[in-house]
């Protein structure tokens, strides 16, 4: 592990800090000595799209001093920053050494920084190596001979023609489906219009039925009232007749 630069600044914003860091390169990992991480560090990690290493708990003075033993600093802020960086490096050290070994075996040591950056930012080592392989194939296409180049070109032209034909067929099928969809929508509109008209007619018919029933009921009640009145008029007042008779014959 080699120290590139160390320093401390007062009242510096995110852009200023990002500019200072960028002078040394693009960071793959940012670290702090406290938990939770300061808002400024979280913003910087987001700015660089870098992993943030945060200790389980605040680092103590003894732990920090042990990590930076033999190093000199201008103030405690620089010591704290260095201790946080060393703690984070040691946490990932085995994984980083594994990457170096695999890349050396594959003669890809020039891609070490790129692979480490990918792995530190949640890409598996196998996927990172696959991405590098694909990138190298694109950058350096291998052509053994002119004949092979012609064959490859013919193959690609054939694939292109097949894609164009397939695209035309898909376009035609899509046009047919769109026409059918438009026809179905128009049919649905007609059906909906017919349903609404039928519902309107049914509602009007029902209203008329209710009105007829109401009138019939009213007429029936009037008839009953008239019949009751006639019945009361036709009934003999027996008690009245008896009283009248007694009044007339009182002297007897």
pTM metric for this prediction: 0.50
Contacts of 118 (CB under 8 A, 6+ apart): 127, 128, 131
In whole angstroms, what is the distance from residue 98 CA to residue 106 CA? 13
Chain centroid to CA 102: how far?
38
Residues β-bridged to residue 51? 29
Determine contact, residues 47/69, Cβ cutoff 8 Å. no
- Interval 72-82 mean pLDDT: 89
The overall average pLDDT reported for the chain is 80
Chain centroid to CA 92: how far?
32
Determine contact, residues 34/103, Cβ cutoff 8 Å. no
In whole angstroms, what is the distance from residue 11 CA to residue 196 CA? 71
In whole angstroms, what is the distance from residue 136 CA to residue 106 CA? 12
Q: Within a 10 A sphere around the Cβ of 129, how many other Cβ atoms?
A: 20
Distances (CA, A) of 115 to 123, 156, 170, 171: 9, 31, 41, 42
- Interval 36-49 mean pLDDT: 89
Residue 49 has pLDDT above 60, yes or no: yes
Percent of the chain with pLDDT over 70: 77
Chain centroid to CA 38: how far?
28
Q: What is the pLDDT of residues 155-190, one digit of tens each?
A: 776 776 677 677 667 777 877 887 788 888 888 887
* Sign of torsion over alpha carbons 128, 134, 138, 139: positive
In whole angstroms, what is the distance from residue 9 CA to residue 17 CA? 9
Distances (CA, A) of 205 to 192, 208, 213: 20, 5, 12
- Interval 41-67 mean pLDDT: 91
Cα separation of the two ends of the chain: 150
The predicted structure's pLDDT at residue 63: 93
The predicted structure's pLDDT at residue 160: 66
DSSP string covering 46-97: HHHT-EEE--SSPPPHHHHHHHTTT---SSHHHHHHHHHHHHHHHHHHHHHH
In whole angstroms, what is the distance from residue 112 CA to residue 101 CA? 10
């Amino acid at each position: 592990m080699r120290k590139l630069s160390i320093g401390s600044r007062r009242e510096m914003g995110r852009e200023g800090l990002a500019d200072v860091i960028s002078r040394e390169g693009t960071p793959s990992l940012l670290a702090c000595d406290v938990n939770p991480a300061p808002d400024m560090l979280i913003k910087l990690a987001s700015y660089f799209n870098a992993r943030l290493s945060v200790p389980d708990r605040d680092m103590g003075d003894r732990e920090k001093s042990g990590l930076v033993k033999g190093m000199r600093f201008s103030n405690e802020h620089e010591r704290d920053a260095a201790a946080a960086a060393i703690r984070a490096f040691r946490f990932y050290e085995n994984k980083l050494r594994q990457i170096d070994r695999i890349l050396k075996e594959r003669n890809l040591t020039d891609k070490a920084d790129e692979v480490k950056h990918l792995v530190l930012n949640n890409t598996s080592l196998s996927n990172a190596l696959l991405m590098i392989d694909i990138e190298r194939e694109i950058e350096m296409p291998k052509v053994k001979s002119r004949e092979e180049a012609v064959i490859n070109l013919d193959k690609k032209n054939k694939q292109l023609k097949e894609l164009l034909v397939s695209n035309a067929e898909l376009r035609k099928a899509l046009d047919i489906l769109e026409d059918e969809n438009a026809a179905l929508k128009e049919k649905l509109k007609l059906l909906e219009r017919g349903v609404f008209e039928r519902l309107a007619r049914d509602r009007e018919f029902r209203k008329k039925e209710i009105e007829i029933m109401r009138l019939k009921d009213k007429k029936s009640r009037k008839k009953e009232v008239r019949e009751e009145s006639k019945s009361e008029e036709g009934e003999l007042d027996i008690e009245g007749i008896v009283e009248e008779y007694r009044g007339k014959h009182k002297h007897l």
